[in-house]
Structure formats: structure tokens, C-alpha cells
Structure 1
Amino acid sequence: MSSQPNPTPKPMVLYFQAHQPWRLRPFHFFEIGTQGDGFDNAQNEAIVRRITRQCYLPANKIVLDLIKKFPQLKITFSISGTLLDQLKQYCPDGLASFKALAETGAVEFLAETDFHSLASLLPGTEFEEQVLDHVARLQEYLGVRPLVFRNTELIYNNDMAKKVHALGFNGMFLDGIDAVLQGRSPNHLYEHPEEKGMKLFPRNYFLSDDIAFRYHEFGKKLTVGKFMARLKSIPQEDQLITLGLDYETFGEHHKAESGILNFLHDLLVCFAKDKHHKLVTPSEAIQQIQDTPALHVPDTISWADAERDLSAWLGNDMQQDAFETMAHLEGRIKTLNDPNLTDRWRRLMTSDHFYYMSTKRNSDGNVHAYFSPYASPYEAFMNYMNVLQDFLHTVKEKEKEMATLPEKGALKAEAERREMHTPIWAMKLENSYEK
């Protein structure tokens, strides 16, 4: 009796999102107009040092050691520019550990918005500029050139994917939510309905959240055996499994004493030895999988909260007011063309600031409260607006200074440059390809 041949291993993409924002310091109403530094540098340093010690260094060592032992392991990372900058400034050993992963050739890094921002919701070219700045940062810090994109918090719709494709990327991640898939499986590689060659990776949120949110639930811990059993229950005809979760899950959200780092080690060993599944990078998946049906996503989705929409950041009047006030500064900031002011404005665009202002309740509210350094969403809103109003005073002072320059000075020159036919992001893209 002849034995049945083993099925072809099902490809899996496993990506980790690593991000830390530039948090704001307590900024009182009476400080508005002092043009002070609104960022809590001491807290930012303390937090990134703690997370590097508890998560990035030990988790990166596990991944690096196992890649050396099992070269077939392939891992994917999305690291925000704000975290890369903080690692460079406060934890160079943490940055070096990510570079060591990049040098293995077994790790693919994704592009995103440089400031983990809501820039994709703005008109104009801010989104493209931030994406290309992030590409440059990855090249500078890690020596890699990303080919696949993951937007902030998996914010996605058809039009955003068009912009991403125009920047030269051939793939993009989104959350595999039921409202979008409409009965189809998330375990496939899809394609944009109009942009041929733009592949779409829906995240299997149920399996991903098993680790991120349900590792320790109801007094019980998820075991590698249970997770692998759930993985193997996926129908054989499903072609690609995409898992995605915060990297801080390993050692920060779940502490080392919970066993989470051992879980990561044992899970990767199982993946390396599993005959039914194999880890691949997103670029490898795009090359290997030919059957990619179209996926139409006209409405904006994300991976946040039960709604999986924009309500995590723009769900109440406070969030909308803060976002619109920040967004209305764009034209003035771009005209001034001051790198320091642009950097500060973009730090204020980071999605976390608006996430802290959420007034949701129940399980979603608990998650928002866990991440927030504020006692309440109202305190988060007031503090943000105080910092923003003080920043506006700095902008006004800079505008007065620029107004005293000769007629052909920097202010007018920058305005003329912004009216050129070729947008800034297109020039950056052209320079990037030349390199």
C-alpha cells in the first residue's frame, strides 16, 4: 500500500510591529506662549530603555539565534521611524540588534509612515513624504530597502493602496475583517481591484490576537501545542496565512515571567520544523503565489478596536478637534521649510496622541487606558491642545522672522518651490531610485 505524499507546506507571513511615540510632558495652560519643549524626553528615554531591555534585546536574540540554527525561518518587521530615532538616541544596542537581524537576509522590513502617523488621512502629499522619509531611515539605520508597505495601525482603503503602489511598492497589509472579505477567507493573497501587481495581505486577526491578547486569559495560558492545532485546522485550500502583532507583546505587554519569551522561542522552533507550514517573507509570497483574486475595500478600515475603523483615533469630538487643528497647520509648516518645526509638527501627528483621547468603554476602553499615560481621555486632550497651542506661538514667531527677509528670501523661495509641477514626494522618490 503506497503512502500518501506530504502536502506542499502552506506559506505563512509572520510580522511584528514595533513602535514607540514621542510622548508629551504635562503642559499647563499657563505655559502656552512660552514656546517650551512639549515632549517628555526623560519619560521617553526611560520607557524605550525599559522596553529594549525587556523586549527588543531578548526577543531579537531569540529570533537571531534561531535563524542561525534554522535558516528556513523568515520573519518580517515593521518599525516606526519614531522608534528607530529613539533607539539611536537612547539605546544603540537595541538598534544594533535589529541591524543584526537585517544582516541575516532572512528578515524583511516593511515601510510605513515615518512618524507612525495619520498622514494617510490628510490631503496633499504629506503621506508620500513621510513614507519616503521612512524608506530613507530604513536604508540609513538598517541598510535595507523595503518593497512592501504597512500603513499606521493597518489603516487601509483602495485609494490609499493606489498611492502606495505609485510610490513603487508591490504589496500592502490590511486587516482581514469579515466586513471586507464578505465570506471569503483571510488566508489568501489578494490583489487591488485596479492596480494590477499590487498584492494585498489580509491579517488573520483571530490567530494573531490569540497571542497578542489571549495568551493569558481566564487564568489559562496559550500553549504552542494549542496554537499549532488551531493553525492546522485551517483548510488546506487556503493558500497563505498572515500573522501580525505588536512586538512589544513579548516581554512588555506580557512580562518575561509569564513565559511569553519561551513561547516565542518554542513557537518559532515549531514553525521551523513543521512539515505543513513554512515561514516566508512578504516578497517571497508575492513571487510564489500566482492566484490572487481582487479585493475591493472602498471604506477605510484598520486593525483597532471592535469597529476596525477610524474611531480609535477620530471617534469623538475631542479627537476630531485635535486632529483638525493639527492638520490645519500643514500649509504654514511646509511654507516655513524649517526642519525642526516640521519634525515637531510630525511628532504631534503620531496616532498615539489621538488614541489616548478615546472615550470608549468596556474591553476597547481598557486597551486604550492601558496604553495611555494620562488619567483620563479629557486630560490627554487638554494636554495635547496646550502643547499644540504653544507650538502655534513658535510658528507665528518664525513667520514674523521670515517676513523680515528680502523679497526673494527663503519664505518666497519655498512658496515658489511648492508650486512647481513636480511634488516634493515625487522628487524624493526619483532620488531614492537613483541611489
Structure 2
Amino acid sequence: MAAICLYFQVHQPFRLRRYGVFESDTDYFDNLRNASLMELVARRSYMPANRLILGLFNRYGHDFRISLSITVTALEQLERWAPQHLETFQAMAETGCVEFLGETSHSSLAFLYSQEEFRQQIKLHRQAIKRLFGQTPKVFRNTNLIFSNAIGNVVRQLHFEAAIMEGWEGVLGSRNLGFPYRLHQSDLKLLLRHYRLSEDIALRFGIKNWSQWPLTAEKYARWLNGMNGQGAYCLLGMDYETFGERQPEETGIFKFLEALPGNVLALGDAFRTPAQCVQEIATLNEINVPQFVSWTDDNRDIGPWLGNAMQANAMQELYRLEEAVKARQDQELLSDWRRLTSSDHFFYMNTRHFGEPAGNIFNPYESPYDGYINFMSVLDSITARIRN
């Protein structure tokens, strides 16, 4: 029997409005656009997916389980602009079939520049999940699945039992990604995302010239069942927007999701949450992750957010202000600064992926340079507020 572990990432940043170099207004965020996009993605993706999954919980009970990772920036926007959609997430939590994962509150890269801010954002996220869903996360997944030994050590100090990382050959070597491992010189358990099977749904599902198109639930369940003898579990992780947004309804993605549990269970396999996997399946040996690894592009590195001089400069200048921002003890200023830590702002400055469809979803800028100039103009305003 293979344990199938599904986790979905829900995140929306607070996108900036066009902010002029000589402006002094402190209203930085494009709330009209943010509200419109939240309503759009909720209508196309979150709402139909939530209703479908609630129906599957009703049909299969605890035989079908999933995990969700939801950022505080997404939760704040749901609370403000789409509370009826937030209620469906809460209804899912009440079934007892959903595990909520821990992460940074703002989908930030804080660890790279400030362990203090990294810890604070994890605690803020933990508080939000407890308040809205009544759970305390036991398993951690970092922004964009960025992970290393150093990150894992801090995560363990914050009392997480396990973390999710990319099951990439550059780190795994010849190891089998179908088993939990332990972090190098730590008792933190590691679950590995099966990126090929995950991306068959997230990236390739609707591509008609893909050799496996059309991907049916029956075929996919057989692939998962093929993990038997090769591993004890298969962790599939993807953005929740895969359903209805990245893969539009007309591709058949919702019909696929609806049919998947029945096909998996019919083959004798089971659904488990990440916490169940680490409790029920014995860990193998250690994995050493000295360098950062992520779930993005072929290099699986942090280049998409820090791969050029604009990104590095913007990130350095942002975190250079951290101490001064916090010293002001101004909650509105701190909130604005924290919203700037979302990794999306730096991805918009990415020259490697600019022009690719996957890199342009909800990107408000015509070029990476526009993204950089706009971000730095807002940062100049933050600096002025600190001085005043």
C-alpha cells in the first residue's frame, strides 16, 4: 500500500500600485486590483475546489485527506474581500480531514537575511492558523519550498516535527524519495515532494502535445500505485490555483480531482497527511542539505528571487531597514514593511522567467525593471517615514 500525501499552497501577495518617485502618500498597495484578483481566483479556483473537496470528504470520510498551507497575506485578503470563501476553508477544517502546514506569514525569504524576522513570521502564521482553523501546525514548508540544513535547524527549534523539501536528485543522489529521512545531525524529519508527479498535474495537465495527454484519474492512480515496492508514500505538492486558474476548468482538471480519490482507494492505496506520514513511516538515514534548494525551475535554487543585481539590491535594502522599522514601534509601518517581504515582489524582477506564462500570472509589471523601480520608490517612502 502506498500512502498518498496531497498538499496545496494558497498564497496571494499585496501587490503594489504604481508609485511615483516623488510621491509621499503612504498608501502603497493596489487594493482595487488585489480585491479584484482575490475575487477572481476565489471564483475560478478556491470556491469550486473547496466545494468539490468538501463533497469528497462527505463521500469518503477520513479515507480522503489533504493538507493546506495558507499564508497570512492570503488569509487577510480573504477576510477583507472574500469572507464567504474563507468560510469554506473553515468548513474543510471542521471535517477533521485537513492538516494545516506551518510557513512564513508573508511567503517571505526572511531566513536569508534575518533569522529574527523568519522566526517572527512563523509565529505570526502559527497564531493565524490557530485563530481561524483551530490547529497548531506540526509540519513546516518554507516559501517556495526553499530549504537547507540551517533552515531546518531553526524550524526544529520552533518545535516542528517535520519539514517538506523538494525531492530533487541534486540533493537526494541515489536515495529513494518514497521514504521520510532525517535532517543531517538533527531529529527533524523530512518529507520529499515528488516533483515529477506533482508537475504532471500542476504544469503539464492541459498540454495537448504532452505524450501523456489526456491525463485521466485512472491512469494517474496507476502511476501512484506503481510506488508500491519503491517507497512507502508519495507526496504531491502544488499551488491550489492549479485547479481552475493555472489549469482552467475546460481542461477537465476538476473532473480529474473528483475522480482521483475513488481510483486511488480502489487500488488499495490510502491518503495520509504529512504529520501522519512521519508518525506512521520509519525514517531512513540522514540527508545533508548544505546549500539552498527550492521547487522552482530546472536549477532548483534561489535564482528566481535573487538571481540578478536588481533583486539582490532590493532585498538587501529592504532588510537593511528592519531594525529601524521595528524600533519605531509603529504597527502600520511594520505591516507595510512586512508586506514588502513577500517573495512575489522579487520574482516580478526576475529576468530569467520574464515572458514565460508561468512567470506572468498576476504580474502587474510590463518588465522586471518596472518592478524594481516601483519597489524601490516605495522603499524610499518607508525610509522617509522612519526618519520622520
TM-score, normalised to structure 2, is 0.96
Which of the numbers 223, 248, 252 marks the counterpart of 2:241? 248
Cα offset, 1:362, TM superposition: 8.4
Q: Please state if 1:232 is matched with 2:225.
A: yes
Cα offset, 1:269, TM superposition: 2.6
CA distance in 2, matches of 1:335, 1:75: 41
Cα offset, 1:235, TM superposition: 4.9
Q: Any runs of at least 4 consecutive aligned residues in structure 1 with deviations exceeding 4 A, and if so which?
A: none
Q: Please state if 1:343 is matched with 2:335.
A: yes
CA distance in 2, matches of 1:237, 1:38: 51
In structure 1, stretches of 5+ residues that fail to align are: 1-8, 398-435
The number of equivalent residue pairs is 384
Q: Please state if 1:20 is matched with 2:25.
A: no
Check whether the contact 2:129–2:135 (CA below 8 A) recurs between aligned residues: yes
- Equivalent residue number for residue 153 of structure 2: 162
- Equivalent residue number for residue 67 of structure 1: 57
Cα offset, 1:361, TM superposition: 4.8
Which of the numbers 46, 52, 60 marks the counterpart of 2:42? 52
- Equivalent residue number for residue 128 of structure 2: 137
CA distance in 2, matches of 1:129, 1:308: 26
Cα offset, 1:214, TM superposition: 0.2
Q: How does 1:382-401 map to 2 (within 5 A)?
A: 382-397=373-388
Q: Please state if 1:91 is matched with 2:82.
A: yes
- Equivalent residue number for residue 268 of structure 1: 261
Which structure: larger Rg?
1
Which of the numbers 344, 353, 359 marks the counterpart of 1:352? 344
Percent identical among aligned pairs is: 38
- Equivalent residue number for residue 191 of structure 2: 201
CA distance in 1, matches of 2:134, 2:265: 26
The letter for the 2-side match of 1:43 is R
Q: Please state if 1:187 is matched with 2:184.
A: no
Q: Please state if 1:110 is matched with 2:128.
A: no
CA distance in 1, matches of 2:112, 2:171: 20
CA distance in 2, matches of 1:274, 1:97: 30
CA distance in 2, matches of 1:109, 1:163: 19
- Equivalent residue number for residue 11 of structure 1: 3
Q: Please state if 1:211 is matched with 2:211.
A: no
Q: Please state if 1:333 is matched with 2:325.
A: yes
* RMSD (CA atoms): 1.5
- Equivalent residue number for residue 281 of structure 1: 273
TM-score, normalised to structure 1, is 0.86
Cα offset, 1:271, TM superposition: 2.7
CA distance in 1, matches of 2:107, 2:214: 31
CA distance in 2, matches of 1:228, 1:193: 33
- Equivalent residue number for residue 141 of structure 2: 150
Name the stretch that deviates more: 200-209 or 60-69.
60-69
Cα offset, 1:113, TM superposition: 0.2
In structure 2, stretches of 5+ residues that fail to align are: none
CA distance in 1, matches of 2:74, 2:379: 22
CA distance in 2, matches of 1:16, 1:354: 22
CA distance in 2, matches of 1:48, 1:124: 30
- Equivalent residue number for residue 30 of structure 1: 22
CA distance in 1, matches of 2:196, 2:324: 43
- Equivalent residue number for residue 367 of structure 1: 358
